[in-house]
Structure 1
Amino acid sequence: MVAYLFPGQGSQKIGMGAELFDDFKELTDIADDILGYSIRALCLEGPDERLNNTRFTQPALYVVNALSYLRLLAEGRARPDYVAGHSLGEYNALLAAESFDFATGLKMVKKRGELMGQAYGGGMAAVGGLEEKEVHDVLREHGFDSISVANLNSPSQIVVSGPREDVERAKDAFQAANVRMYTVLQVSGAFHSPYMEPAQREFAAFTDGLAIKAPTIPVIANVTARPYRAERVADTLITQISSTVRWSETIRYLMGKGEEEFLQVGPGHVLTSLTRSIRRNAEPLIVTEEQEEREARQWVAATAIPARTPASAPAGSTAPTPAPTQTRARIPAPAAERIPVPAPTAERIPAPAPQPAAARTILATDLGSASFKREYGLRYACLTGGMYRGIASPELVVAVGKAGMLGFLGTAGQRPERVDDDIRFLKRHLSGGEAYGLNLVHDPGHPEREDALVDLYLRHEIRTVEASAFIAMTPALIRYRLTGLRRDAAGHVVPRGRVIAKVSRPEVARAFLSPAPARIVEQLLAQGRVTANEAELAREVPVADDLCLEADSGGHTDQGVALALMPAMRRLRDDITAQRGYRQRVRLGAAGGIGTPDAAAACFLMGADFLTTGSINQCTVEAGTSEQVKDLLQDINIQDTGYAPAGDMFEYGARVQVLKRGVLFPARANKLYELYKRHDALEQLDASTAEQLQSRYFKKSFAEVYAEVRAHHPQREIDKAEKDPKHKMALVFKWYFAHATRQALSGSDEGRVDFQVQCGPALGAFNQWVKGTALEDWRRRHVADINQRILDEAAALMGRRLAAVGTE
């Protein structure tokens, strides 16, 4: 079961609806005629002062919400089981439930915005950290009878409304009550308070005579937090202007009805964040039919408003009654003759073959684990991995986050100062509750780098990390995991920082599925880096919340096979969960080789709770690598990658998968490793080989390379090299790996043959999938778009395949 939620004022932003106006030109033209100005220009160009003006904000949000809903239907999404909208968004909920048509709704919203925009002298303030009763107590104890509760957004986020002077004076009273936040909002009116009753009366006169019908699906009202009653649709909507928005109770009511998915339809992520908070901190509200009936009678008596019978509902009806066919509101699934939906062209991935009539409708949002999406605040069970040296750039992570997915910033090899700047960028651009995370790569030669990153993550309160390339648990990783562990009200251990671990070996998976090693916990406790309470709680939770099973892929790889990894790791996970008695099961995702809808569908059919894509993302506009690298990558096929030693784990013999077409890096890197295995010092190399390395590989002498090594490595490494010639040789050889990466990232033309580009065959498969379309050119590839396309087609593919089982 699914509920669609429509946002209200506060979710507007310049640029909203950019992808919608062309697809729904007929409705856009209708909006322009009703409003008397261009809705496209308002939404895309602003300026901010105009878009944030209530009389313009409300029509703009109504139109964008409505077109967003139509887009979902056009993409094949089924109608929801319930709908609700926050304040202004309730008009979109009723529109989706066919209580009126698009034009009628827009006329009402236009009038509503004008009336509310005329309000002056009022004010509102957001109160954080107090429950409803506590807010009322503060107002009563300090004599603020003029202030009322306007919005109950979540159990601990409430908005109050009243005369502006009183709202501003109340700040001291609330701060004395130790509120977490008291912020006076930039509004001119005391919205959703008794001060709006004059506007409400004028709005009621305006709506008299409009065709407002009974909803065809349940709409949860702001005023009552219960479904609209057929005979009270117009009256309930009118009353909303001066009544409290009971949003927290609305979500709790839907939770009590068994809703498992809540989907925000419209710009921003405000309702997604509020819903996540409500589900985390409140219990479902179980309401019987008898109780609902009793509450409805009490509400009618209290409001004393005579019922206005809906156009299509018999008087006294309490259940949603569809309107007659000839007067049905015009927002069912779009029909081609009324609402043009563009057909696929060369600008898009070719559409899948027509579905059989019996094909089951599966959508991209249906794929993966519902609990995984809920806990991370995602629309799609799709992650993008944190590629080395900022290839997974801040811009890439922002694009992914805004699309309802989870991106990891590539921090490996980056200076802490650069990572700090990137985190601040993410916080500025993902301030609406969108998900994001940071990569934490195991660095066995430099544990201090791990420590520095964890310090930074904790200081910035980073909630999610991707742990990569770990072969054992480290103090830095465990410190991140344990910091902030606490028990919730139910007695469950709750971590502050989530860990999604990428693994390909059972022994590493076992370590992440187990509690933190006691010896590391004791060490951290002795150093004062975790508290005694955190150390105690560490025994009850695994190191990782979720595991991403990495099959053969770009970068570090064990050349695993997804078909073998998933069942083996699932059994291991289930065994350890049973042994340890964990309350929550660690979820299993899939990574490696995912570059086409077929691969994504296969992973989900094997039971993957989520996917992580990698190689395909570095050949996009947002990826932080050079254009020269992207030019090379957009043309490769599945056979154009190979294996080379991993520079960061050179001495261990670890390998990475890299680009081999058009470059010499894999051959040269493998030769360096073979030389390292056979010799104990640079001086043991024969003259011809030494000359080849210095003149053709390094283009510098060994002495010059070592001078650079001395300048960039900690003194302990240099001291070891002075005593151990083999270690010195390893440092000199490893310089080439770092140099080859720098050449690729900078796009050095003269160093092109030495480019180190970590990449797997998934990108070759993707290139073949998009061949002959606009996406053949990487300059048309945007990271959120290509992942969305893969998920959409994977869902359609699964529906067709399931429908065809046993018929071919």
Structure 2
Amino acid sequence: MITYVFPGQGAQKKGMGGSLFDEFHELTKQADEVLGYSIRELCLNDPEGKLNQTQFTQPALYTVNALSYLKKIIDTGQKPDFVAGHSLGEYNALFASGAFDFKTGLELVKKRGELMSRATGGGMAAVIGLTEEKIRETLLMNRLDGINVANLNAPVQIVISGTKADIEQAQTVFEKTNGVEMFVPLRTSGAFHSRYMQEAKQEFKEFLAQYHFLDMKIPVISNVQARPYTASALRENMVEQITQPVKWTESIRYLMGKGHMTFEEIGVGKVLTGLITRIQAEAEPLIVNEEERLSKPGERESAAQAGGTAKEESAKAKSSVAVLECEAQAPVEKQVHMAAVLGDTAFKQDYNLTYAYMSGAMYRGIASKEMVIRMGKAGMLGVFGTGGLSIADVEAAVTDIQKELGQGQAYGFNFLYSPSDSRKEEQLAELFIARGVKVIEASAYLSITPALVRYRAKGLRQDERGVLSATNKIIAKVSRPEVAEVFLSPAPERIVAKLLAEQLITNQEAQRLSKVPMADDLTVEADSGGHTDGGVAYALMPAMRKLRDEMMVKYRYPKRIRVGAAGGIGTLEAAAAAFIMGADYIVTGSINQCTVEAATSDTVKDMLQQINVQDTEYAPAGDMFELGAKIQVLRRGVFFPSRANKLYDLYRMHASLEDIDEKTKLQIQDKYFKRSFEQVLAEIKAYYSPQEWEQALNNPKQKMAMLFKWYFTYSSRLALQGSEESKVDYQVHCGPALGALNQELKGTALESWRNRHVDELALLLLDGAAQRLKEQLNAILSVDELRTDM
């Protein structure tokens, strides 16, 4: 069986709806007539900034959710077995069931939004870590009887509602209550889903009296009852929903009790998908006798608690769902989870982060601007992958990212070591300095280069007390102690002198460079996708942290250099292990390539979705071919690793192309390149200056390397384009972390990459890691000791 679920307020975002308004032109026109303004313009462009105001948000979300449902029905030709919606989303469920037509539903939602937008003086907050029973008990014991439970989003993620003063008092109480992981005030103007909405409820009841409703063709699960709507109670439930709590957890448990149930979110975003995944993991199905008489709205049903309480108690810290701000007047800029306590506080403060988490760069913009923007808006740091892109492409990405992340939200750009093209580094440095890019991830470096030093110098500031700070921050990704040491040291004197002589830095900047390390933070990269030395995290992390401590003492740096962990992090256990080893933050890469936001082909994502931990292999790195550097790539279903290794072996063992036997040369041209060597040379000539070209042709070894390196560019392009006829030659950078994640997500809604979003995966890992760390602590300490410590 399948249930379609519809999100409520808080899911809205500019651009929602897309082509749906063109596909459903008549309904869009109908919506404009009902609302008195262009629904398309509001949803796609929001020119007047009204999309986050309740009276506009609710009609907009209802419209997009409804059109999305109609599109789904047209595409599949099938209707669901059940429908449900969170708060406002319940009106879409009723529309899907046939209780009313599109126009009627929009009229109802418009009125509902107008009434709720008038509410003032109230507040709401999410309490994470306690069950409903514990929350009610705490409210009772502290005489906070003016507060109502509003949204039961997950077993231990519950929203309370009341006057602003009561919510402020409750914060003081709950933050001192044992077991509370987080208390998050929500940005609302009213105490929605509480007794304080009585006036709106009464007016809405009077408004509903003029409407006649139709028979429901699909069962709708009521927010108020957590049971299917009945025709006789339809009007009553719609009215009561305004003041009664949203029983989302119980609704999902009820549907789970129906047997094998698949849930699919229809409309804007995937917040409900995350909630449902957690509920399925944390609570038992609710087996209900369908003959039972539905309780009155607002009554707690003993059956709702049966079979769930014990498991919910044991799952306290496991709640990793987003704080769903239903009926909020503004969207959530940073959804706060229990995982916000992980990692180094100063690291989060320096980069304006909620979570100590980075998504690392992936070459050719696979770590896309969409990925970086989504991470920034979620309170995390995303790094754009500049490797293999032109300066114009990088500048365009800077423009788009800065436009979207304009409120101090974090973002970074990759600064890739280019030993054969130092000019590219210099151009990147000039671009980042000119455009005010304040964070770069320096990766694949073997030594410090002038471009890095220049970027560092232009961001050094000194206050009136003489304290130095770096506004241009460098996060160095390293896997070898000798490379880490150069980033933990001040800029090399010879490079500083050279830049000074060329008047690229000032005397003042040169002096400041001698007092600070080259890197603010050091990411220790163990075995990973792409460039890797195949290091082991358990050995690398302690060694790098000890080196950091020694260098801090040696140079007497006033500010601590943070050490993060990367490589192999694809499961909650791996993330927990990284924090146990002392990581101040964690960085993921391979797992992000199999998300909606990754800028690679759907074909590649389909292939990556299927891999296990053993399905990767080492191959030569095209950009450092002559040096013998290695990258880790996808092995399953492709020939690239074996072909790339053969090309490198031929290069290593022969002085020129002419030394290779004819049979092998024909195989390379026919099977690997699918064109002649002459055709390859003609293609790549445009990428070299006349002097470089002449030099390469006159050096047989260099000419052979130039030809072989073309295959690496070609194989990457095939993968990015999703060329079906050349899948065996795909070059896809990937480590075993993705295989581990795939196994974890099997059988869940996130098994398909089409449901995976980079920020949601991050929160799954972080919240899971936090839970695992607490479980380990529980295993070590006695219950009494644990209570005392916390």
Q: What amino acid does structure 2 have at the position aligned with 1:663?
A: V
Task: Give the drift of 1:23.
Answer: 7.4
Note if 1:420 corresponds to 2:395: yes
**1:475 maps onto 2:453 in alignment:** no
Cα distance in 2 for residues equivalent to 1:806 and 1:662: 48
- 2:87 equivalent to 1:25: yes
Farther-moved stretch of structure 1 (362-371 vs 549-558): 362-371
> What does residue range 318-333 of structure 1 map to in structure 2 within 5 Å?
none
Structure 1: runs of 5+ lacking an equivalent: 1-8, 30-37, 80-95, 104-210, 221-226, 229-253, 255-260, 268-333
Contact 2:129 / 2:316 at 8 angstroms: preserved in 1? no
Corresponding position of 1:508: 483
Alpha-carbon offset, residue 384 of structure 1: 0.2
Q: Cα offset for 1:13? A: 3.2
Distance 1:28 1:98 in 2: 28
Aligned to 1:70: 126
Give the secondary-structure state (helix, strand or coil) at the position aligned to 1:388: coil
1:461 and 2:436 equivalent? yes
2:508 aligns with one of 529, 533, 544: 533
CA distance in 2, matches of 1:213, 1:382: 33
Query: CA, structure 1 residues 586+373, in 2 after alignment: closer, same or farther (shift >3 Å)?
Result: same
The CA deviation string for residues 101-146 of structure 1, in whole angstroms up to 9 with x for no partner, is 599xxxxxxxxxxxxxxxxxxxxxxxxxxxxxxxxxxxxxxxxxxx
Contact 1:463–1:497, Cα closer than 8 Å, also in 2: yes
Give 1:721's aligned residue.
696
Tell me if 1:761 matches 2:736: yes
Q: Offset of 1:393 from its aligned partner?
A: 0.8
Structure 1 vs Structure 2: percent identity of aligned residues?
Answer: 46
Give CA deviations for 1:2-60 in whole Å, capped at 9, x if unaligned: xxxxxxx98973797979x987539999xxxxxxxx9xx99x9999xx99xxx999658
In structure 1, the partner of 2:235 is: none
SS in 2 for 1:414: coil
Q: Which position in structure 1 is the counterpart of 2:281?
A: 351
- d(CA) in 2 for partners of 1:638, 1:758: 14
Shift in Å at residue 800 of structure 1?
1.5
Q: Partner of 2:645 in structure 1?
A: 670
Letter in 2 for 1:544: A
Deviates more, 1:736-745 or 1:478-487: 478-487
SS class of match (2:725): coil
**Deviations along 1:575-608, whole A, 9 cap, x unmatched?**
0001111111100111111111111111111111
State the match for 1:13 in structure 2: 52
Could you tell me which residue of structure 2 aligns to residue 641 of structure 1?
616
1:437 aligned to 2:447? no
Contact 2:131 2:316 in 1 (8 A): no
Which one of 591, 595, 600 corresponds to residue 620 of structure 1?
595
Q: Aligned in 2, Cα 1:98/1:680: closer, same or farther, shift over 3 Å?
A: farther
Provide TM-score, normalisation by structure 2: 0.64
Structure-to-structure mapping, 1:234-253, within 5 angstroms: none
Whole-Å separation in 2 of the counterparts to 1:740 and 1:784: 29
Say whether residues 1:368 and 2:343 are aligned partners.
yes
What 5-or-longer segments of structure 2 have no aligned partner? Answer: 1-47, 66-83, 92-101, 136-142, 151-161, 176-181, 189-243, 264-276, 284-310, 319-336, 784-790
Structure 1 SS opposite 2:440: strand
Residues 194-232 of structure 1, C-alpha deviations (whole Å, 9 max, x = no match) = xxxxxxxxxxxxxxxxx9796475599xxxxxx99xxxx
Q: Given that residues 121 and 163 in structure 2 are in contact (C-alpha distance below 8 angstroms), is that contact kept between their aligned partners in structure 1?
A: no
1:380 counterpart SS class: coil
Q: Which residue of 1 aligns with 2:222?
A: none
Matches within 5 A, 1:732-751: 732-751=707-726
Deviation of 1:432 after TM superposition, in Å, equals 2.6
Relative to structure 1, is the Cα distance of residues 451 and 336 closer, same or farther in structure 2, using a 3 angstrom cutoff? same
CA distance in 2, matches of 1:727, 1:46: 70
- How far apart, in 1, do the equivalents of 2:384 and 2:110 lie? 31
Question: Structure 1 CA distance, aligned partners of 2:699 and 2:164?
Answer: 85
SS at 1:588's partner residue?
strand
Structure 1 counterpart of 2:365: 390
Pick closer, same or farther for the CA change 1:11–1:365 going to 2, 3 Å. Answer: farther
Alignment partner, residue 459 of structure 2: 484
Distance 2:620 2:487 in 1: 25
User: In the alignment, residue 696 of structure 2 is paired with which amino acid?
Assistant: A
C-alpha separation between the residues in 2 aligned to 1:451 and 1:764? 37
Question: What count of residue pairs does the alignment treat as equivalent?
Answer: 558
Distance of aligned partners of 1:614 and 1:11 in 2 relative to their CA distance in 1, 3 Å threshold: farther
Distance in 1 between residues matched to 2:514 and 2:146, nearest whole Å: 55
SS in 2 for 1:524: helix
Q: Is the 8 A contact 2:477 2:523 kept in 1?
A: yes
Which residue is equivalent to 1:585?
A: 560
How big is the shift at 1:266?
4.2
> How far off its partner does 1:769 sit?
0.3
Q: RMSD of the alignment, in Å?
A: 4.1
Contact 1:437 1:466 in 2 (8 A): yes
Residue 70 of structure 1 deviates from its aligned partner by 2.7
* Alpha-carbon contact 1:355-1:800 (below 8 Å) kept: no
TM-score normalized with structure 1 length: 0.63
**Cα distance change on mapping 1:449 and 1:352 into 2, 3 Å:** farther
Alpha-carbon distance in structure 1 between the residues aligned to 2:621 and 2:758: 26
**How far has the Cα of 1:433 moved from its partner?**
2.3
Aligned match of 1:86? none
Q: Residues of 2 paired with 1:212 and 1:767: CA distance?
A: 45
Q: Residues 406 and 437 of structure 1 are in contact (CA less than 8 Å); yes or no, is this contact kept in structure 2? A: yes
Shift of residue 774 of structure 1?
1.6
Q: Does 1:655 align with 2:630?
A: yes
**Paired position in structure 1 for 2:661:** 686
